Structure 1
Amino acid sequence: MAAPSATSPAPSKRFLVFFDFDETIVNESSDDAVVRAAPGQRLPDWLSRSYREGHYNEQMQRILAYLAEHSVTEDSIRSMVENIPPTPGLLTLFQYLQAHKQDFESVVVSDANVYFIEAWLERAGVRHLFHRIFTNPASFDADGHLVLLPFHAHGCQRCPENMCKQVIVREYLERRLQERAGCPFQRVFYVGDGANDICPMLALGPRDTAFPRRNFPMHRLLQKMQEAETEVLKVSVVPWATGQDVVDCLKRLEKER
């Protein structure tokens, strides 16, 4: 689902920032946080064992159905999500983007879901910073059950069946280029942490920057790609431990034309 903000950014914005959500904006997986709303704050073994590699969206659908069967309310789910702590320094990064909103357009690309992401961003008071949110559709039905759907179908062999972030990034860049009357962004930044944040790196160019969270899967995989000296990876790589690390790099790059 793609959720637009109230106002569209002006074509004059120079930079585009993509953000993952789980373990990037927030300091844990929102799906794991919601499990704490289950009876005993844990899942039964049969449900935990039902996960199949590359089919996490299906697994989360089963988890949400289990919560519904045990009368877990929307208030309980929303409370769990809203109280996930931000990743250290991310609110500082958001403050920087707000102070320089004339230059930066921000977008979320996440394999979480729109209900969790909207709930957290609104509670944190930063929803207005994001022009679009690309994530899996999710909403409560008439019976009060949170229903999750896959984002899209794709043919990428690297990615989970419900989402290829490279497809999303490429299509968004193409669409914004048209909407900006052929004026590209000067630089594109991508802030992430997970293995599914590797594929969109292949859509970025040599003036762009990948910000992998230090010692998380995205960082380790990018290190391996760099060591292999693959020609496919063109983007610059700047690991980060806190949002302040990203701010410091953005300050340097913003001065470059």
Structure 2
Amino acid sequence: MKLDDVLEGIAGSTKVLDAAKARWAWLEAHPDPQKDGWGPLPELTFRETVEFNRTGEAMFRALKLLGCLDYAAEITPNLARRIRDPHGLETKEEGEERLVSELQTATHEAGHGVAFHYLGVPFYSITLRRSGGGKVLLLNDAGHVEGAKERGREAVINELTACFAGGAASRRILHTATGCGPDLKQARELAAVLCRGREARQRLLRSCSRKAATLVADHETEVRKVGDELFRKGHLMAERVAAICARHQKAAAAAARAGARQGKRTPP
């Protein structure tokens, strides 16, 4: 894997990307920034400087996301500690554990967000709390037992399905199942509004769980993209989630049309 592969899609402009590469090269050659400094300061605007700082942090996050911690440690000793904990307040193991936790939460919340989008459940934003956990801010009492009957059976089933989407995303993408306790509790409460008998509620829960797993599988690319951006930025508005999904759908449709045209040109 090359540095270009890691940085692709992280830096928003060529200028910032070049500055990030220069900083990376400096750190490779000067592993002790306390002694040798952080290298020449890039000539960037304030906005570009903010983007540059995020890119520096995202370098290690991308390596973590790609499962290349050993690679990161090999070429830049203690890079994680310098980026994530510049004052040296946590151990390397603590920093790595926090990164893993944030990645798991971002993927989990991305599953919820993409499900809410495609199921038409109104939400405002997704937030990744650096102190731990995440939150999707819903609108119009969505997801709450109060007012569930007024929202209608179909709307509540969609909300219930989205409850399972976070866990489905974690299992499919990261092969873990974390943070599902509150989701299951919420799903059971919503199911109790729609079904009286225990068996009927269990059937509904199983049905919605399968539906959520299918939705995440069908839209895995969008879940990954939303999770990656949430992992880097910590907060996404619903409009941004919709834009990511729309861009993927547009690209997929264009690829399908291109494939169809290619098939027509192929001689029998």
Q: Same fold (TM over 0.5)?
A: no
Q: Which has the higher helix share?
A: 2
Into which bin does the TM-score normalised by the smaller protein fall?
under 0.3
Comparing both chains, which one has the higher relative contact order based on Cα–Cα distances under 8 Å and sequence gaps of 6 or more?
1
TM-score with structure 2 length normalisation?
Answer: 0.26
Q: Which has the higher strand share?
A: 1
